[in-house]
């Protein structure tokens, strides 16, 4: 029996699961990108210098983080497919830190490729080899100390040794009778140890293919093994919850600990004096005395761990329900950095009693769908309700029909009534997690560990609902019996039309309706439903049309019979109408299987297109915003949900847009026809390059399948203006360009990106980093992640601030109370930064009568004239915002809402000026539609507008502006006498002036810290009626904003 996964209940289901992606074409998938891991973290590694942490996961991604800050530096994706194909189970890093080896379930061809191993060159960001030979998945890979060899352990019960330079198989070791879960080389390179699910540990002389010794002390599956760096000891652990210490000859020395949970990882410190044990908690023991030195209990259920550094001062752990990565100071027990994705498993789901509104919750409460409903989403309006859900308005699963209660019997059986059961296949469906009747009790839906299925009332399987990639935690049907909503561990919510006839996965010939249903009574049914013309037609279409006709006329019994027959013969499957991802920051994105989507201002960053490039290459990932012109169609998404059909929605949408050719939707759009330009770096050719001197000439070639419409060089996240030396030096055609530019290197590192667009899409190149060579540029100690940034000798930038606040308008009916006070307070705050974080601070403050349209535009000109690439520009706006014919405007003192185009400040001016400044640019925007907080205590800012599109555009990679908005969408932006400010500014001042956002007490408030504090504080102040949001282009790394005085 082929072993496909770490747990036998999972193992055989690999080929049947569907990935979090929705397949568009064979080589393209739309996948979630939660800015962190969304599934089990398999392994964690430190780079040799300790500056980066590498984590790999069952979510099929490799992520590289900055150790000190937790900033995500890079995500690497390989070839992926349906189900488990592409999951990564193990990783190892070469001693010099250049080569990363990963093993997992890499099946994308023949059976021989189940156990392929990938070697990735981290410097060139290329996959340089695929090692094939294992016939099952690879659970463990390890480098020899000298980096010459790789060992791999597999579900095929063998260990293989590979030569790195020649990328060839050296030898195969056989002897275990079950899957091999971890292998480790001895430091001397001659011995190897292996732990297996056969409950044994083996010591090998791998060069002679001989077992030196077999250890049988464990009484359950052995999950982990590790050698001490000094070669004197090795340790083992596993499912028996025990950890044993052995000498290097395999003599038992001591039982280090008996855990209450399975041991997930064990690792020795570099000095071999400590052993980290990762299980439910992380414990550090002395070696060989086995004394408990310290415990870290905050991070539960870690699944990967590593120690680094000569002193063992730092440790990394990963895993838990939130798939977090921590870097710890083992001496203090404090976290140096902590990162996690923005997604959460969806444990609870309810459907509104009317309409297509659903509620959901992320809290586990002693079982699936038993927790509270805390947020809601209306699919007809594409609107998130982040707070204030009334559970009485929503219904969860229905388990009672007449006197029959659906009852789970054991793990795999559901009782419908006496002697009538639905039985799951343990290896295909997995255990039953949730179940429900439709309101009319005509059908039953089961959500399982591995899939979700639709049955007739009598337990006949009708369809499989495909889309989720992990355990189904919650389901709920709509009142009209047509829709179903589901939530899963894969962090998504999916909406289904269960009346959808689905699609077939079989190529077998299908009998006609008349040949299959031959009883004379059927003739009346066919006539009654007007389908006589279908009964003798070949193929599956007549069957699907007949089912639709039966459902339309409420003949559910007939429809169920047809569906049950089709499932048996053709394995009918149904994809979701739509999928919803709601991030922990309340940004959301909703998309269809065809790739069309709607999103909040910051929601686009959470999905993208994965494109396979073949088994010997890494995959390519494009954020969905790359194809915004083609696929951002919220009105189409609403129509698809309203009518339960893409075909119907497409016809209506195209009818409504017949005058706008570029808006017309085609049924079989292929993302491959709309790929963005390709950027090929000529100089520097590889990721990091050490540079002597203060300048460097950058060169890149841009090619495209359609006309190139724009090219920009981004230096440290900001575009280099044409007037500053950028030029296209070669233009072979409108589909090929070459850029060349001499970059001035100011600090120790200069980050480079190329932005390129064509008629369909846009993209950012791979990053390149220029590093000035050694010396006095930076005194940072590579072994100290907690280096004080205030002592860095880099040149401090100048800060330019434009602060605008309008409380007093010519049209007095629009007056506010505290907008001017907001601007004055922000000005005062940043003035204190002179000589601290900034060398100098220059300010233009415009309040009330000073804040005319002309003066605001003059302030923009002032920024253009003075700001250089070395500086930072901050713009603060507190006023009213308005929409007119799709354009967003800010109202100045002399503005007239009835004549916005001639009297207000057009958002296009913000984009033009801020997007082209050479410096980093931060915009604080408090100009959104508002609503009353209660008892007329609040004043409102703005009319009923939606600022989503304006914010989305200015924060794109092309414009590169960081925006922190008081609220987004058509939400309220509030002010109140108790605060003497708007809620947003009040929170900003607490965060920076009162030091509340300096969470790590390093004396600096960074953007990430500010975002976290302000979002939580404003939500509290406004009782959940206002939710600030921060959007940061991917081109900008972490940004310090203020230094707080100590």
What is the pLDDT, as a whole number, of residue 141? Answer: 98
What pLDDT digit, counting tens, does each position of 543-594 carry?
Answer: 989 999 999 899 999 999 999 998 888 888 999 999 999 999 889 999 999 9
The two beta strands, 400-401 and 620-623, are unpaired
The two beta strands, 841-847 and 799-805, are parallel
C-beta neighbour count of 897 within 10 angstroms: 17
**CA distance linking residue 542 with residue 412, whole number of Å:** 35
Torsion of CA 637, 639, 641, 643, to 10 degrees: -150
What is the pLDDT, as a whole number, of residue 933? Answer: 29
**CA distance linking residue 727 with residue 724, whole number of Å:** 9
What is the pLDDT, as a whole number, of residue 455? Answer: 95
What is the pLDDT, as a whole number, of residue 181? Answer: 97
Distances (CA, A) of 183 to 210, 500, 936, 957: 15, 49, 68, 44
Which residues, given as ranges, of the chain have pLDDT below 70? Answer: 1-26, 108-113, 299-303, 309-311, 659-661, 721-730, 732, 774-795, 928-959, 968-972, 1045-1046
C-alpha gyration radius of the chain:
30
CATH superfamily name and code, 84-216: YVTN repeat-like/Quinoprotein amine dehydrogenase (2.130.10.10)
Torsion of CA 624, 450, 618, 751, to 10 degrees: 50
* Fold of domain 678-771: Immunoglobulin-like (2.60.40)
Residue whose token pair is 């962090």:
491
What is the pLDDT, as a whole number, of residue 969? Answer: 63
CATH number of 798-1043: 3.40.50.1460
Spell out the domain ranges in the chain. 84-216, 347-501+575-663, 508-564, 678-771, 798-1043
Sheet with 981-982: strands ordered across: 939-940, 974-976, 981-982
Which of 22, 12, 33 has its CA nearest to residue 621?
A: 33
What pLDDT digit, counting tens, does each position of 667-679 carry?
Answer: 888 888 889 999 9
Q: What is the pTM of this model?
A: 0.82
What is the pLDDT, as a whole number, of residue 777? Answer: 46
């Amino acid at each position: 029996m082929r072993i496909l996964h770490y747990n036998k209940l999972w193992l055989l289901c690999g080929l049947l699961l569907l990935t979090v992606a929705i397949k568009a074409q064979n080589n393209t998938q739309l996948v979630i990108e939660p800015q962190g891991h969304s599934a089990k973290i398999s392994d964690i590694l430190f780079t040799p210098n300790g500056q980066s942490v590498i984590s790999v996961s069952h979510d099929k991604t490799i992520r590289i983080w900055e150790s000190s800050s937790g900033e995500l530096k890079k995500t690497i994706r390989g070839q992926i497919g349906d189900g488990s194909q592409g999951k990564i189970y193990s990783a190892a890093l070469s001693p010099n830190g250049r080569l990363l080896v990963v093993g997992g379930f890499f099946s994308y061809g023949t059976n021989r490729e189940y156990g392929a191993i990938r070697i990735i060159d981290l410097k060139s960001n290329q996959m340089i080899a695929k090692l094939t030979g294992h016939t099952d998945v690879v659970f463990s890979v390890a480098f020899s100390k000298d980096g010459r060899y790789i060992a791999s352990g597999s579900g095929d019960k063998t260990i293989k040794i590979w030569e790195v330079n020649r990328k060839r198989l050296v030898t195969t070791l056989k002897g275990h009778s079950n899957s091999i879960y971890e292998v480790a080389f001895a430091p001397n390179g001659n011995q190897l140890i292996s732990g297996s699910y056969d409950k044994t540990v083996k010591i090998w002389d791998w060069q002679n293919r001989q077992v030196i010794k077999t250890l049988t002390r464990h009484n359950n599956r052995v999950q982990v093994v590790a050698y001490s760096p000094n070669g004197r000891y090795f340790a083992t652990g596993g499912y028996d919850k025990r950890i044993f210490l052995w000498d290097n000859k395999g003599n038992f020395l001591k039982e280090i600990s008996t855990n209450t949970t399975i041991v997930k990882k064990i690792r020795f410190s570099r000095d071999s004096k400590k052993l980290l044990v990762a299980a439910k908690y992380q414990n550090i023991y002395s070696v060989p005395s086995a004394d408990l030195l310290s415990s870290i209990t905050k991070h539960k259920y870690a699944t990967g761990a590593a120690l680094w550094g000569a002193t063992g001062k730092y440790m990394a752990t990963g895993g838990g329900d939130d798939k977090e990565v921590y870097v710890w100071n083992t001496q203090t027990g404090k976290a140096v950095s902590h990162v996690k994705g923005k997604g959460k498993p969806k444990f609870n789901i309810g459907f509104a009693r009317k309409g297509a509104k659903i509620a959901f919750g992320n809290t586990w409460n002693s079982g699936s769908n038993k927790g509270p409903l805390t947020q809601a989403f209306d699919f007809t309006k594409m609107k998130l309700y982040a707070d204030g859900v009334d559970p009485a308005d929503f219904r969860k699963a229905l388990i009672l029909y007449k006197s029959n209660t659906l009852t789970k019997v054991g793990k795999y059986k559901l009782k419908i009534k006496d002697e009538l059961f639905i039985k799951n296949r343990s290896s295909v469906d997995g255990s039953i997690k949730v179940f429900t009747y439709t309101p009319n009790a005509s059908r039953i839906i089961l959500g399982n560990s591995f899939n979700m299925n639709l049955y007739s009332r009598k337990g006949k399987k009708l369809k499989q609902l495909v889309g989720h990639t992990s355990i189904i935690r919650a389901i709920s049907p709509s009142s009209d019996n047509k829709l179903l909503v589901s939530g899963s561990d894969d962090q998504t919510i999916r909406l289904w039309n269960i009346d959808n006839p689905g699609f077939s996965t079989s190529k077998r010939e299908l009998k006609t309706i008349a040949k299959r249903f031959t009883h004379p009574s059927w003739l009346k049914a066919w006539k009654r439903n007007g389908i006589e013309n279908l009964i003798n037609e070949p193929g599956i279409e007549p069957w699907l049309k007949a089912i639709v006709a039966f459902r339309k006329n409420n003949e559910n019994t007939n429809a169920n019979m047809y569906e049950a027959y089709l499932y048996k013969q053709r394995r009918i499957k149904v994809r979701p109408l739509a999928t919803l991802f709601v991030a922990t920051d309340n940004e959301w994105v909703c998309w269809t299987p065809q790739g069309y989507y709607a999103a909040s201002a910051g929601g686009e960053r959470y999905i993208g297109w994965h494109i396979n490039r073949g088994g010997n290459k890494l995959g390519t990932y494009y954020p969905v915003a790359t194809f915004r012109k083609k696929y951002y169609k919220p009105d189409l998404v609403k129509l698809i949900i309203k009518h339960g059909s893409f075909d119907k929605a497409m016809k209506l949408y195209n009818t409504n847009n017949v005058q706008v050719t570029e808006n017309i939707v085609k049924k079989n759009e292929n993302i491959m026809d709309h790929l963005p330009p390709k950027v090929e770096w000529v100089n520097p050719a590889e990721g990091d390059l050490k540079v002597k001197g203060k300048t460097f000439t950058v060169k890149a070639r841009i090619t495209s399948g359609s006309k190139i419409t724009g090219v920009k060089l981004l230096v440290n996240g900001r575009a280099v203006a044409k007037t500053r030396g950028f030029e296209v030096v070669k233009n072979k055609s409108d589909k090929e360009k070459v850029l060349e530019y001499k970059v001035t290197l100011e600090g120790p590192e200069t980050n480079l990106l190329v932005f390129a667009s064509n008629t369909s899409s846009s993209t950012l190149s791979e990053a390149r980093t220029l590093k000035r060579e050694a010396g006095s540029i930076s005194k940072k100690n590579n072994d100290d992640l907690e280096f004080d940034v205030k002592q860095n000798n880099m040149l401090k930038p100048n800060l330019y601030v434009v602060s605008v606040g309008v409380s007093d308008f010519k049209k007095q009916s629009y007056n506010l109370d505290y907008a001017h006070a907001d601007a004055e307070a922000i000005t005062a705050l940043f003035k204190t930064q002179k000589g601290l974080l900034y060398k100098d601070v220059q300010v233009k403050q415009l309040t009330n009568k000073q804040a005319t349209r002309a003066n605001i535009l003059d302030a923009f000109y002032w920024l253009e004239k003075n700001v250089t690439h070395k500086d930072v520009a901050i713009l603060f706006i507190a006023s009213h915002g308005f929409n007119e014919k799709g354009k967003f405007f800010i109202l100045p003192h002399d503005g007239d809402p009835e004549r916005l185009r001639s009297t207000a400040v057009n958002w296009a001016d913000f984009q033009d000026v801020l997007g082209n400044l050479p410096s980093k640019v931060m915009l604080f925007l408090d100009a959104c539609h508002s609503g009353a907080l209660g008892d007329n205590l609040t004043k409102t800012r703005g009319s009923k507008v939606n600022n989503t599109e304006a914010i989305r555009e200015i924060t794109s990679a092309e414009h590169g502006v960081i925006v922190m908005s008081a609220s987004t969408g058509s939400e309220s932006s509030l002010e109140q006498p108790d605060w003497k400010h708007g809620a947003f500014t009040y929170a900003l001042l607490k965060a920076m002036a009162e030091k509340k956002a300096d969470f790590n007490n390093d004396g600096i408030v960074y953007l990430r810290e500010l975002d976290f504090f302000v979002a939580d504080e404003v939500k509290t102040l406004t009782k959940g009626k206002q939710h600030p949001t921060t959007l940061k282009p991917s081109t900008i790394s972490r940004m310090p904003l203020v230094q707080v005085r100590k």
